[in-house]
Structure 1
Amino acid sequence: MSTRTRPGWLEKPKPVTQAGKALALATVVLLVCVPFLVIVSTSLASQREVVDNGGWVLWPQEPTLKAYRDILDGGIVTHALGVSVVVTVIGTLLSLSCTALLAYALARPHVVGGRPALLLILFTFLFPPGIIPNFLLVKELGLLNSYASLVLPVMINVFNLVVLRGFFQGIPEELHEAAKLDGAGDWRVLWTVVLPLSKAALAVVGLFYAVAYWNSWFYASLYLESDRWPLQQVLRTYVVAGSGLTDTTAGDGAVTAPQTIQMAVLVIATVPILMVYPFLQKYFTKGVLTGAIKS
């Protein structure tokens, strides 16, 4: 009489295995949370605490928002923050709209020129243009020192396009046919049938675009002058290049340490994405997996 063994993934984990997983998870959490706690704590610390602790503070005894008031008091960081917000919102809306339209066209069967267009798009994904051709193109289009240079050259991302196209292909053809029988055209089918069923994929792609626009600094350094930089380029100047990091003294004589200014700018640049992600997390896995499987 033969005994059937259960697959390994169906077996109940041993206590040693569970303890190892818990230890590994706790280690990862500490590696992620402790540096972020140090950043936030240092941004709230006073000059004396920063000096006494060698530049880094784990838990401030006298928390203060002076660093945030200094950098948001109508200076370069305030302007850069506004630039980043506008570029991220407008860029994400434009990119998501154009990507959805193109993905829907490429997902429909028997579209004239659909296959060659898809191959051409995938070719640009495998062989992207270099920095110099990009710069020359932006210059010839008259986009230098214009915020459009941060959006138009990267408006459609091929990976996001493939994800949306795969998701659209997974929608049953019967729904398209039923809508066509009711007299709906392609635009109405896209608006009333396809997009409402694709909220997961749209949320994921929108998050990808928003993060890319928000974190973009390289193109700003190429195309924009310093007075038009977004927040991430200003952050790089503050933290990496060390420019403008002399001690800041307010009218009351209080001094803000350069490390505190650095960490405050870093917090301002990080928190917006951290606040958006939890609302889209439930769509993340579903949207990516569905689009990737179908593509």
Structure 2
Amino acid sequence: MRDVVAQGMADSGGTRWFDLKDSQTGDIRRVFLWVPPGEAPADGWPALWLLDGNAVIGTAVDVMRAQAFWPTGTNLGWGVLIAVGYPTDAAYDSFRRSWDLGPPPGQSYPPFAADGPRVRTGGGAEMARFLLEDVRGFLAGQVALDPARQSLFGHSFGGLFALWLMFTRPDAFANWIAASPAITWEDSFLLQHLDRFDAGSHRLRVHLSAGEWEGDALAPFQAGGPEAAERRAEKARARTVAAAQEMATALSARGVATRFEIYPDETHMSVLPVAVNRALRWAFALADTQARPASPQIKERT
């Protein structure tokens, strides 16, 4: 240890966190906040909100710190990062996120553990109110934000929640990023919201994505594994890549500026840091070169 001259705990580049009580239910959620250096713009900072905050805030902060200082090389401008998670050191609280990120009406499922409580979904409206009222009200006393330049990112269940919130509250954010969204969850009820969706006067931008190995084929390291048959059956049910591409095409047809991407050689979980990087570019790009019609030419590797 004699070559070690200093040591300490990493602080994710100055990220602060606050355990915030839900004004209606009393539940505690953890809100992570990272603010760029310097003075806020006259209209306030643009902001990217991220769901599953415990799992993504470190990646998001590192992307910002590594890229925004060199805008001519990255096209990334400075912005505030707001990530919402739970009071835990783990990446996820699977039980609570099932409720919070599962849009209504929801269902009930067997416990994660043999002696645990049944898992419930359907609390999305509660989570939406917490984000749009409690967290926004709290942040008003912490940082100046530009209300016209707010973005929301979600992965998997978070992507499902983001799309549902866009369909029901298109005024809530200007930019929406749904990575590997669970569109077919609970009998594809989300498509009923798509059928009724009207963005009205809101000029929305939507980025949809999935990993290459979320399509029909298994990742090479999974293909010969003991769970291969079960994984293929789940892929056939979830249709993650196809459902996301179909959603992108449907939104583009409705006049929404939409982009769809497949990230090569990524699975449902390994795709997360790639998707977070892309979310920052979607939210804070200085020159808008990304909004374009959905990209049907992007195909999976065979």
Scaled by the length of structure 1, the TM-score of the pair is: 0.26
Scaled by the length of structure 2, the TM-score of the pair is: 0.25
Going by fraction, where is strand more abundant, 1 or 2? 2
Task: Give the structure, 1 or 2, with the largest relative contact order (CA under 8 Å, sep 6 or more).
Answer: 1
Larger radius of gyration: 1
